[in-house]
Structure 1
Amino acid sequence: MDNSAFQDLDKYNGSTRPNENGSRKRHPPESMGSQDSSDVSIAPERVRMKKTVGLISGTSLIVGTIIGSGIFISPKSVLDRTGSVGLSLVVWVSSGFLALLGSLSYAELGTVIRKSGGEYVYIKEAMGEIPAFLFAWSSVIVVRTSSMAIICLTFGKYMATFFPYCGSPIIPVKIVSALAIVSLGVINSYSTTLAGRTQVLFTIVKLLSLTVIVIGGIVKLSQGNISQFQNSFEGTTASPSSIALAFYNALWAYDGWNNLNYVTEELKDPAKNLPRANVLGVMITTIIYLLVNISYLTAMTSTELLDSPAVAVTWGDRVLGAAAVLMPLSVLFSTFGAANGTLFGGGRVVYVAGREGHLPEMLSYVHCKYYTPFPSIIFTIAIALIMIIPGDVGSLVDFFSFSAWLFYGLTVTCLIIFRFTKKDVERPIKVPIVVPVLFVLISIYLVIGPIIDNPQIELLYAFLFIIGGLLFYFPFVYFKLKIKGFEWLTTSVQLLCEVVPSPYEPDN
């Protein structure tokens, strides 16, 4: 490589670079002013991500991430597993209440530990290196990436409704899904501000489209379409496993309530905006979800809803008539915005884990011009592209939900631990202790219930995958095993991507 290329990056990080004989030597950072460049005591210019997320954009991040593909694909699964309209609506409201408990707990966590990275940094602080690594391992390889894959596959499926195919070929759906993932990678790599504005725009559009569904449901109710709400608990299941799996699907639709905690370091006035945005985002979503589910059931029977290949499209055909084309369009906007929020938060987990030494350090580097976590974003979309290959949305949801709620429960347990280990830390928000305790108990049920009542091999695979992360932790993190040529790879990535280290700097 041309050594002159290193000079552009040295001023940011005092980086190491190969000398003429190929060995590495530490070079002092160059002066940023008129002082003598031989003065090695001059501190390098710090590159860190900017605080660009306010209350509106933060609330949009939460609402826009939560409202994605879930409200369009989960109603069928929730209704099927509960067995009745009445219990399905109870599950939707209860899931919103559980998400609210979680968002309140996370609001306190985010003001006690004011670092980006969400669950990762809280688990690391309260429980140590190994649980934090296992979370990062599961999140990076499965949880966040499978979430993004599910959303983008839904985007691809609804895009396919605009084109008449012979049969139902899956290849075009996967190609469209992959293009959506790559497009989001470009947006998030180029500008955090652009990613935030994209989130706000798509959140507004999806709220408008869901408002249309809600108004349509109100009109149908006023016309007397209430048959599905009479004897609504008839046929209710008595299986704890089925109810837990119904919660899995509803809670999947609510996933994203914790997304703002991944970008705490980029949040303006986190002590105020984090709890406000968390609570406001979840409450808005819960009301919308309940009204949308009611609207679906005013336009079709429960049997018709279960048989519908695309619930929103069927609703549009029956209620909007010639304007039904708005429904697949609204789903496209909704899923694209949700995938954007998922990538925005998921890339920060990779970034923080790399900064803390649990992933390769180069994944924590930040672009020296755009101030975005470029390597972590590229890594996240690469894994997400692999996840769309199987294309089985149902199995991905179950796999995702088991892993996610295992770590959600552990994370809120950290809040209980901090009440004893960090008594003197300032808490702008302090929730009643019953909130995290209740959340943890429900999380235990969601994780253990399906295993005890109806063991499934997919849940065993998920557990073994999480534990399998130890095969990487001990050699590469604990014993710090070095791979030959990895330093050269790190330098090459730094030069190719124009990225530099970005150490954590606490707020003043």
Structure 2
Amino acid sequence: MSGRAANGRPRSSENGDVRSEGGDHKTVKLQRKITLMNGVAIIVGTIVGSGIFVSPAGVYTGTKSVGFSIIIWCLSGMFSMLGALCYAELGCAVTRSGGDYAYIFVAFGPLGAFLMLWVSLLIIRPTTQAIVAITFAEYAAKPFFPECRPPENAIRLLAAVCLCLLTAVNCLSVRWAMRIQSVFTYAKISALIAIILAGVYHVSSGHTENFRNSFDGHYDLPQIALSFYSGLFAFGGWNFLNFVTEELQDPYKNLPRAIWIALPLVTGIYVLANVAYFAVLSGVEIESSAAVALTFGMRMFGTLTWIVPVFVSLSTFGGVNGILFTSSRLFLTGSQEGHLPQLFSFIHVKRNTPIPSLIFTCITSLMMLLISDVFVLINYYGQILWLSNAACIAGLLWMRRTQPDLPRPIRIHTSIPYIFLLCCAFIVIFPIPTQPWNTVIGLVITLSGIPVYYLCIAWKNKPEGYHKFIRSITRYVQYMFEVTNPETTQSLLQS
């Protein structure tokens, strides 16, 4: 018997799928609601988080040079642009959502893709979301505690509220989530423009002493590589639009357009913001500051210093929204390929939002808030993250050889992926002598996914009790959230 239950929820069929009134499957799938400007807002809003407000100290520490620090910011933007161009070709050739996971799957097969998904599931995504949420909470609470640091429990509670609120918005409507992303993107760009204008005013008043002997400093390759880590951390998120290509309108045109608009815009603003920082603060002041923007605000805005933490909290709030939105699509695609439980691929029958995947993303991020020093985890996957990016670009070159007939509306010059791979090698290899244990732990976490893959994915003849248990949980989730399997999407292996 099909139709609706007494409580008004869709009934489940024998195989667990929600059916419509007449017994036919409802055509439910992710909708293309993301416009070009929404795509630009996702890239800019995800990149511009806490990094530009705190990373300048890390960039300067590695070089002790004002001039070379600004060059590193320029090169970090150019490097991100090269990677984004490579991802534009990948995103137009493999149009499924999922980003890195989808590209590694098509290029190198399911095991490599699962390992990437495993690291993202276990550490990268929830840790990143937790860190940005904590940064939001710290700065949002700072105006209420001007003389001291806000209480730790208050920070974590506010971070949890931020994650839950944005999860609810993303569950209710894609358009609402995009509206939040756009509004907060404009707010954070306005904040950086205010910093730039304050720096211009300071320089125009004759304060140029901090730019004398700009290129005096220390030029040690491992330290320069670590400086790039700080700079590239601030550019993190340049490839996040690739995680939602199934919801992007006209992706063949709008994906590269969004990249061409967003990356030069962010690079220009970042470089000018750092020039403003150096115009007002000395290298020693920047190096010793845990929050450069706050120190800058105390110097330039006087009694209005409280406005800086408000700006940073707005910036990070939008960053959490962008990471949450794209993370849920990554897990949804992994579920559709059988690498996560089926219920993570379900979407709401009316709102077309991946509610189970969003809630799972929120829960894992909330769990990270319970760790006393969540920032330590970020060091364990920095190199693994860049290895993942390098694997995607290597996959681009490999697919050109093994799948020459794959449609490529965009085909970048062959030199670009090779330059990107050389830069990745520099970033990954040179810091190893200074932080070998981070490399070892990152590799151990990644390789721990191999037995999980063969036990949970490759092993097909599992006991019937296991399947019965999974089906019962799936049906319960369907009834609770009114979600169903989306319209069948072509497998990545057939893309």
Structure 2 length normalisation: TM-score?
Answer: 0.93
- Larger RCO (CA within 8 A; separation ≥ 6): 2
Asked whether the equivalents of residues 170 and 358 of structure 2 are also in contact (C-alpha less than 8 Å), the reply is: yes
Shift of residue 419, structure 1, vs aligned partner: 1.4
Q: Secondary structure at the match of 1:454?
A: coil
Instruction: Kindly provide the amino acid, as one letter, of the partner of residue 179 in structure 1.
Output: V
Asked whether the equivalents of residues 358 and 477 of structure 1 are also in contact (C-alpha less than 8 Å), the reply is: yes
CA distance in structure 2 between the aligned counterparts of 1:390 and 1:242, rounded to whole angstroms: 29
Asked whether the equivalents of residues 139 and 309 of structure 2 are also in contact (C-alpha less than 8 Å), the reply is: yes
Instruction: Kindly provide the amino acid, as one letter, of the partner of residue 154 in structure 2.
Output: P
Asked whether the equivalents of residues 6 and 495 of structure 1 are also in contact (C-alpha less than 8 Å), the reply is: no
Indicate whether 1:228 and 2:210 are aligned: yes
The correspondence of residues 158-307 of structure 1 with structure 2, limited to 5 A, is: 158-164=139-145, 169-238=151-220, 240-307=221-288
Tell me the residue number matched to 1:447: 428
Asked whether the equivalents of residues 105 and 436 of structure 1 are also in contact (C-alpha less than 8 Å), the reply is: yes
How many residue pairs match? The answer is: 484
CA distance in structure 1 between the aligned counterparts of 2:333 and 2:419, rounded to whole angstroms: 29
CA distance in structure 1 between the aligned counterparts of 2:260 and 2:153, rounded to whole angstroms: 40
Instruction: Kindly provide the amino acid, as one letter, of the partner of residue 72 in structure 1.
Output: F
Distance 1:5 1:412, change over 3 A: farther
**Percent identity of paired positions between Structure 1 and Structure 2:** 36
2:445 to 465, 471, 475: 465
Tell me the residue number matched to 1:40: none
**CA offsets 1:109-154 (integer angstroms, 9 cap, x no match):** 0110111010111100010011100011111221122211121111
Q: Secondary structure at the match of 2:286?
A: helix
Distance 1:31 1:162, change over 3 A: closer
Distance 1:30 1:257, change over 3 A: closer
Tell me the residue number matched to 2:493: none
Q: Which runs of 5+ in 2 are unaligned?
A: 491-495
Shift of residue 183, structure 1, vs aligned partner: 1.1
Indicate whether 1:145 and 2:144 are aligned: no
Shift of residue 49, structure 1, vs aligned partner: 1.2
Indicate whether 1:326 and 2:314 are aligned: no
CA distance in structure 1 between the aligned counterparts of 2:325 and 2:6, rounded to whole angstroms: 30
The correspondence of residues 31-430 of structure 1 with structure 2, limited to 5 A, is: 32=22, 43-164=24-145, 169-238=151-220, 240-390=221-371, 392=373, 394-430=375-411
CA distance in structure 2 between the aligned counterparts of 1:5 and 1:272, rounded to whole angstroms: 47
CA distance in structure 2 between the aligned counterparts of 1:92 and 1:141, rounded to whole angstroms: 30
Q: Which runs of 5+ in 1 are unaligned?
A: 18-26, 38-42
Shift of residue 227, structure 1, vs aligned partner: 2.1
CA distance in structure 1 between the aligned counterparts of 2:176 and 2:307, rounded to whole angstroms: 26
CA distance in structure 1 between the aligned counterparts of 2:18 and 2:150, rounded to whole angstroms: 60
Distance 1:347 1:30, change over 3 A: closer
Tell me the residue number matched to 2:15: 16
Asked whether the equivalents of residues 312 and 327 of structure 1 are also in contact (C-alpha less than 8 Å), the reply is: yes
**CA offsets 1:388-412 (integer angstroms, 9 cap, x no match):** 2335465343234222111000011
Asked whether the equivalents of residues 85 and 302 of structure 1 are also in contact (C-alpha less than 8 Å), the reply is: yes
**CA offsets 1:40-93 (integer angstroms, 9 cap, x no match):** xxx512211111011111001100110011111211112112332222212211
CA distance in structure 1 between the aligned counterparts of 2:191 and 2:103, rounded to whole angstroms: 36
Instruction: Kindly provide the amino acid, as one letter, of the partner of residue 135 in structure 1.
Output: M
Instruction: Kindly provide the amino acid, as one letter, of the partner of residue 10 in structure 2.
Output: L
Shift of residue 351, structure 1, vs aligned partner: 0.6
Which is further off, 490-499 or 305-314? 305-314
Shift of residue 104, structure 1, vs aligned partner: 0.3
Indicate whether 1:502 and 2:463 are aligned: no
Asked whether the equivalents of residues 15 and 28 of structure 1 are also in contact (C-alpha less than 8 Å), the reply is: no
CA distance in structure 1 between the aligned counterparts of 2:167 and 2:372, rounded to whole angstroms: 20
Shift of residue 209, structure 1, vs aligned partner: 1.0
Structure 1 length normalisation: TM-score?
Answer: 0.90
CA distance in structure 2 between the aligned counterparts of 1:167 and 1:218, rounded to whole angstroms: 31
Shift of residue 322, structure 1, vs aligned partner: 2.6
Asked whether the equivalents of residues 9 and 500 of structure 1 are also in contact (C-alpha less than 8 Å), the reply is: no
